[in-house]
Amino acid sequence: MKSAVVVFPASNCDRDAAVALEQMTGNKPHMVWHADSEVPDVDLIVLPGGFSYGDYLRCGAMASQSRVMADIKDKADKGALVLGICNGFQVLTETHLLPGALIRNAGLKFVCRPVGLEVVETQSSFTRKYSHGQRVVFPVAHGEGNYIADEETLDRLEGEGRVVFRYAKGESPNGSARDIAGIINEKRNVLGLMPHPERVCDPLLGGTDGRALFESLIEALT
C-alpha cells in the first residue's frame, strides 16, 4: 500500500501518522508539502493532526486553501482514499469533502485523554476489520472537535450509514451532535475523525485499537 501524508505549516502529527503507516504497511509514506501542486500517485492520502497555520482563523480554514488541496479534492472525487485525523478532519469539512463543521468543545477547553468509541459502521475501507459495535479506545487531543450539522444532514448521515465512529455513551469529550466522532462521505472514500488512531498502534503507548483501521485499509487495497 502506497500512502502520502500532507504537511501544512504547523501540522504536528505528520510524523506520528508516518510512523504508524510505515509500521503497519511496511512502506514509508511520501511526505507532501502543502505548497506542492499535486500528491504523488498513492492509494491513501492522510491529512494529519496539528494546528495548520496556527488555527488562528477557523481550524482548517487556511489549510483548505492550500495549493495541494485542489489536487486532493480532485483525487477524492475520482475515488482516492483520504483519511483526515483531528486537524485533518477540520480541513476536510472546510474543503466540503465532508459535511458539517467542528466548533469549540462544549467545555471550552482543549481536551487530551483516552476516550471510548463505538465503531458504528464497518462497511468501509477504513473499518472493515473492526466488528460492528466494537468498543475501542483512542486518545483525543483537540480544542475544537464539537461536530455540528443541521438536523437534516445528521439524519442523512445516520440513515446512509455514514457515522463511522461515535463516542461511547457518556464519554464525549466535546459535546458533538449525536456523539459523532467520525464520518465518511457519500462515496465512502473520505473519512474524517477527531480521535487519533495513529497514537494507538503500539502497546507501549497505551493500546493497539488503532491498528485495525490501518489493517482495514491494507485489506481493502489488496
Partner 1 sequence: MTAITTKIVRDHGLNEAEYEKIRSLLGREPNLVELGVFSVMWSEHCSYKSTRAHLKKLPTKAPWVLQGPGENAGVVDIGDGDAVVFKMESHNHPSFIEPYQGAATGVGGIMRDVFTMGARPVAMLNSLRFGEPSHPKTRHLVSGVVSGIGGYGNCMGVPTVGGEVNFHRSYNGNILVNAMCVGLARRDNIFLSAAKGAGNPVVYVGSKTGRDGIHGATMASAEFNEDSEEKRPTVQVGDPFTEKLLLEACLELMATDAIIAIQDMGAAGLTSSSSEMADKGGAGIVIDLDKVPQREINMTAYDMMLSESQERMLAVLKPGREAEAERIFRKWELDFAVIGVTTDTHRLIVKHKGEVVADMPVNALSDAAPVYERPFVKRAPATGTPSFDASRPVMESLLKILAAPDMCSKRWVWEQYDQSVMADTVQMPGGDAAVVRVHGSNKGLAMSTDVTPRYCRADPYEGAKQAVAECWRNLTAVGARPLAVTDCLNYGNPEKPEIMGEIVAGIEGLGEACRALDFPIVSGNCSLYNETQGEGILPTPTIGGVGLLKDVNRMATIAFKREGDAIVLIGEPKGHLGQSVYLRVVEGKEEGAAPPVDLAVEKKNGDFVRGLIEKGRIDTVHDVSDGGLLVAVAEMALSANIGAGVRLKYSLDTFISLLFGEDQGRYVLAVPTDEADRIVADAAKAGVYAQQLGYTGGLSEREGPVLHGVGIPPIALTKLRAAHEGWLPTYMKA
Query: Which positions are catalytic?
Result: 86, 196
Q: From the list 29, 49, 195, 197, which residue makes contact with partner 1 (rule: CB under 8 A)? A: 49
* Binding of partner 1 by 65 (CB under 8 A): no
User: Interface with partner 1 by CB under 8 A: which range of 24-32, 43-51, 128-136, 181-189?
Assistant: 43-51
Largest CA distance in the chain: 43
> Alpha-carbon distance 56 to 111, whole Å?
18
Q: From the list 1, 20, 191, 220, which residue makes contact with partner 1 (rule: CB under 8 A)? A: 20
User: Interface with partner 1 by CB under 8 A: which range of 48-56, 66-74, 128-136, 159-167?
Assistant: 48-56
> Alpha-carbon distance 143 to 160, whole Å?
28
**Which of residues 49 and 192 has its CB atom nearest to partner 1 in the complex?**
49
3 state SS for 101-163: EEECCCCCCCEEEEEEEEECCCCCCCCCCCCCCCEEEEEEEECCCEEECCHHHHHHHHHCCCE
> Alpha-carbon distance 193 to 220, whole Å?
19
* Binding of partner 1 by 144 (CB under 8 A): no
**Which of residues 8 and 130 has its CB atom nearest to partner 1 in the complex?**
8
CB 4 within 8 A of CB 30: yes
Burial class (CB in 10 A: 0-12, 13-18, 19+), 133: exposed
> Alpha-carbon distance 110 to 43, whole Å?
33
Binding-site string for partner 1 from residue 85 to residue 124, where x marks contact by CB under 8 A and - marks none: ------------------------xxxxx-----------
* Binding of partner 1 by 15 (CB under 8 A): yes
**Which of residues 67 and 113 has its CB atom nearest to partner 1 in the complex?**
113
**Which residues contact partner 1 by CB under 8 A?**
9-10, 12-13, 15-16, 19-20, 49-51, 53-56, 109-113, 139, 141, 143, 196, 198-199, 202, 204-206
